[in-house]
Chains A and B, each alone.
Chain A
C-alpha cells in the first residue's frame, strides 16, 4: 500500500476499508473487540438487573419513582440520529468525497457531544436528589452501567475528532479509510448499547 497514491472517485475501491491486508485484519479484529465489549456490557446489565431497586432498608429511591422518560427519550433520538449521520459520512467515504465525509462527521460529533451534555445534566440532577454513587447497590449499578456507556461515547467522540484533525489536510487514502470506517462502526455499537439501556433501565424501570 502506498500512502501517497492519489485516488479519484473512479479509482477508489468499493470497499476501501477491507481493500488492503491491514484493513482486513483491522476489520475482523474490530468485530472481535466488539464481541468482547458485548460480553462486558452483558455482565453490567446482568448486575444491574440483580441490583435494581436494592438498597439499605427503607431506601427512598426506586427506578419507577426516579426515572423520567422525556429527557431520556430526547437523548435516545439524538444518539440515533448521530448514528444516521455517521452512515452518511461513510457513504461519502466510499465515494471518495472527503469534504462531505468530514462535514457529516462533524455533525455526528456535535450530536454526540449534546448527548453527553444531557447525560451529565441527568446525573447531576439525580445526585442533587440524593441519589449519589454510594447511595445504594442500585445507584452503584446504575451509574456504572450508564457511566460506562457514557465513557464509550466520550472515547468515540475523541476518536472521531482525532481522525478528522489528523487527516484534515491530506484527505482520504488507503491507510486512513479503515480507521474512519472502524470509528463509525464503534459509534454504531455504542448506539445499539444505548438502545438496550433505554429499554432495560428506563422503559422497564418506569413501567415497573
Chain B
C-alpha cells in the first residue's frame, strides 16, 4: 500500500479515477471536465460572435442562435466556471488547513459524478431533438412556450448537477469547521480557504430555491401543473424570484473564490503578508451576507413598485463597499512589496482594473431608473462579462498556472503563459468594452442579427475580432498544457519559492495522505513563518509519526449518479405515447440509484490504515521533495 508512483495500465488508471475518493484526484476530475465544458462554451461563444460579425448574417438561424446563447450561458456558469473553481477548492483547501482529506470523501466523489452526468445530460440535448432556447435564465413565460424537449433537458440536467454542487458545498463547510489542524484558528485560515467557506455557505442556501423552481418547471411542462400558467391562476414572476434568489448569490459563489485565488497570488508574489487580512475576511463575510438581499435588482423592470425597487437599489449599492475595501487591501499589499511578475501575478494585476470597470457598470445598473434604459441591452452583456471574464475567468487562468505544479508536479511554461495572457487580455477588452457603447446605442441583447442601417456593424465586427484573440490565447494555453505534460520536469515542494501557506510545505503532488504527521500551525502564513525561522522541514508537527486512517475507494458514487442519468431519459419521454420503453428506463434508473444508496447505507465501510512502517518507507522511497 505504498504510495510510490507505480506505472499503471490505462484501464487501471481509469478505474482508479472512477472509484477515487481522494480530494486531489477529484480535483483533477473537476478540472478536466470543467475545462472540457469551458471549451464547449467557448466554441458556442465563437459561433455567436461569427453570427454577429456582420449585419444581416445568416450563418445561424434565429432558432439555433437562441439555443446557442442559452447553452453558452448555462454551460459557462454551471458546467465550466463553477466546477473549475471547485477543482481548486478540492485540490488546495484541505492542504491549506492541514487536513488529510475532506470530511466526506465518499460524498465528494458523489458530488462530482452528479455534476458530471448532469452536464453530459444537458449537452446531449443537442443530439436529441434540440437544446434549450429560453436563455440561461429560462424565464417561465418563454420556457413554457418552448417546443420540443430542450427546456426539460435544462430542468433535469441542472437539477442533477445542482445536487452535486450542493453536496460539494456541505462537504467543504464541514471540512473547514471540523478538520483544521491544531492551531489553525479561523483567523489564521488562508484567504482562499475563507472564500471557499463563504462560497460554500452561499451554495448551501442558494441552490435549494433553484431546485424548487426547476421542479415547478418540470411539473408545469410535463405533468400539467399550473405554477406558471397564468390562465389557471399561476404566476410567472414566481420563477423570476426563485431564479434570482439563487442567481445573485451564484455570482458571488463564482467571484469569492476568484478573490481568494487573487489574494493568495498578491501575497505570494509581493512577498508580503496580505494587507488588512482581517478586513478582507470580514468583507468576504459581508459580501456573502448582502448577496442574499439584492436579487430583485435583476427585476427592476418587472414592476415590483417604487418601494421595492428603491430598497433593492440601495442594498445593491451597499455591496460595493466591502468590494471596494478588498480592492484597496490588494493594492496596499502590492505597495512596497518585492514584486515578481510571474504569470499568476500578471493576471492578478490585470484583474484589478478589469474588475473595477465591471463593478462601476454594476453600480450604474443598480440605479433603478437608469436600469430601465440599460435593461436587456448589450450594456448588460458588457457588464457581466467584465465581472465574469475580467474577474472569474482571469482568476481561473491565474489559478491554473499557480496551482498546476501542486496538482501535477510540473510547471506550466511561463513564456507561453505570457503569450496566452496578452492574447486573452487584449481580446477580452476588445470584445466587451465596445459592447457598452452598442448597448447605449440601443442594440438589444439576445438578438440573432441586426440591420445594416442600424449603424452597429463596425462595433460588432470589432467585438468579434476580439473574440478571435481570446480563442488564440486559449489555444496557446492548451499547447502549453500538452508540452508541459510531455516534458514533465518534476518540481519540489515550493516551486514558486515564495509559498506562504501549508500546501507549499509538502511534495508536489502530495502523497495521498497529504501529511504524514499533522502539522501544528503557529500563525497566519504558517509555512512562511517556519521558513523565516530556518525550519528546513517547513512545519512543526502536532503528533508523532503513527498509523493513519484512510477511506476506501468506492464505485458506488458513480453508480448512483449513473442511475439518475438513466432515469432522466425515462423521465424525459415516459409521457410520450410512442415511447413505451421510457417508463421501464425511468424505473430501472431509479432502482439503480436507490439500490446503490441502500447498499451504501447497509454495507459497512470502515476504511483502512496506513502503518507507520509504510510511511517511513514512503519518506525514504524518494518521493520528490526539496528543490
Contacts and interface: CB of A to CB of B under 8 A. Distances in A.
B206 to A, nearest CB: 8
A82 interface: no
A153 B160 CA distance: 22
A55 interface: yes
Contacts of B174: 25, 28-29, 32
A43 B170 CA distance: 20
Interface stretch (B129-137, B220-228, B300-308): B220-228
Given A25-B104, A28-B178, A47-B212, A144 B233 contact: no
B208 A43 contact: yes
Given A25-B174, A50-B235, A136 B208 contact: no
A138 B233 contact: yes
Interface stretch (B267-275, B318-326, B497-505, B596-604): B596-604
- The A interface, classified by DSSP as helix, strand, loop or mixed, is helix
Interface residues of B, number: 41
Contact of A55 (B207, B233, B242): B233
Contacts of B232: 55-56, 136-137
B226 A47 contact: no
A139 to B, nearest CB: 8
A141 interface: yes
A14 interface: no
A115 B434 CA distance: 62
Interface stretch (A34-42, A123-131, A188-196): A34-42
A33 interface: yes
Nearest to B235: A50
B225 A133 contact: yes
A84 to B, nearest CB: 26
Given A35-B205, A39-B205, A140 B104 contact: no
B598 to A, nearest CB: 7
Interface string A106-136: 0000000000000000000000000001101
- The B interface, classified by DSSP as helix, strand, loop or mixed, is helix
Interface in B226-264: 226-227, 229, 231-235, 238, 242, 245
Contacts of A24: 178
Q: Most B CB atoms within 10 A — which of A36, A50, A133, A141? A: A36
A98 interface: no
B233 A36 contact: no
B331 to A, nearest CB: 36
Contacts of B216: 47, 144
Interface in A170-202: 175, 179
A207 interface: no
Nearest to B166: A36
A72 interface: no
B235 A36 contact: no
A137 B229 contact: yes
Contacts of B223: 133-134
A3 B242 contact: no
Interface string B185-227: 0000000000000000000110111011101100110011111
B226 A36 contact: no
A47 B226 CA distance: 12
Given A43-B242, A137-B232, A162-B598, A32 B212 contact: no
A117 to B, nearest CB: 22
Nearest to B234: A137
Interface in B592-617: 598, 601-602, 604, 606
B128 interface: no
B601 A137 contact: no
B479 interface: no
B227 A43 contact: no
Contacts of A133: 223-225
Q: Most B CB atoms within 10 A — which of A25, A37, A136, A159? A: A25
Contacts of A144: 215-216, 219, 225
Contacts of B177: 28
Contact of B209 (A3, A25, A43, A162): A43
Contacts of A166: 601-602
A141 B174 CA distance: 34
B173 interface: yes
Interface string A134-162: 10111111001000000000000001001
Contacts of B212: 40, 43-44, 47
B74 interface: no
Contacts of B215: 144
Contact of B231 (A3, A56, A139): A56
B185 to A, nearest CB: 17
Given A21-B178, A39-B205, A175-B604, A137 B235 contact: yes
B171 interface: yes
B94 to A, nearest CB: 13
B380 to A, nearest CB: 26
A51 interface: yes
Contacts of B208: 36-37, 39-40, 43
A36 B169 CA distance: 11
A54 B233 contact: yes
Contacts of A3: 604, 606
B103 interface: yes
A50 B236 CA distance: 11
A59 interface: yes
A59 B173 CA distance: 47
B104 A35 contact: no
Nearest to A173: B604
Contacts of B224: 133-134
Contact of B233 (A1, A29, A47, A59): A59
Given A40-B212, A56-B231, A144-B225, 7 more contacts: A28-B178, A29-B170, A35-B204, A54-B235, A133-B223, A133-B224, A137-B229
The 9 closest A-B pairs by CB, nearest first: A54-B233, A137-B233, A140-B225, A55-B233, A43-B212, A40-B208, A137-B234, A39-B208, A25-B103
Interface of B: 103-104, 166, 170-171, 173-174, 177-179, 204-205, 207-209, 211-213, 215-216, 219-220, 223-227, 229, 231-235, 238, 242, 245, 598, 601-602, 604, 606
9 contacts: A1-B606, A36-B207, A36-B208, A40-B208, A40-B211, A51-B238, A56-B233, A133-B223, A141-B227
